[in-house]
Chain A
Amino acid sequence: QKEVEQNSGPLSVPEGAIASLNCTYSDRGSQSFFWYRQYSGKSPELIMSIYSNGDKEDGRFTAQLNKASQYVSLLIRDSQPSDSATYLCAVYTGRRALTFGSGTRLQVQP
């Protein structure tokens, strides 16, 4: 079992819809959770961090964390074609550095 798992996609949504990206992790002791956006050929850009159970909203983005079920999700409201990218989930387990999932590719159709 991978430490951080994401569906590779592509996840295709129409413009204006809500995109829902999911991530599960295996280490119950995980402390910090992050979502990155990576455009093709570019480096990852941090878009959300979440540390405690519940929802955290920032503009069109909402991160949701459920430690009991060991999943973290990212909702993107009013999706735009410019949101088309690969979204990486990253988890800090307290050991070394962040552990990254392999990413979900999102396509927003105009």
Chain B
Amino acid sequence: KAGVTQTPRYLIKTRGQQVTLSCSPISGHRSVSWYQQTPGQGLQFLFEYFSETQRNKGNFPGRFSGRQFSNSRSEMNVSTLELGDSALYLCASSTGLNEKLFFGSGTQLSVL
């Protein structure tokens, strides 16, 4: 069974640009959630999608958005990038009916 796949693995952007990250969940998983990891900040919850609907959202500005497709694949978009958006972005999938998350390897975003 394939794991959670995130693309791209690394990304370098400049301030003001926008970026789209992709996440393919484990087959059969209907929930995809996104997290930002920065040094010393742990994992900060961005949002969660279940069956194409955003079920919950963390405390991030509106520049951070996401969506989920009918095949459960999800994308996360960050517009008007700021230097502070440099981070490891992780997505996780689950059945949506229990608590265990399966994470991808993440996308390392650097904003210059």
**A and B pair up:** no
Name A's B-contacting residues (CB within 8 A): none
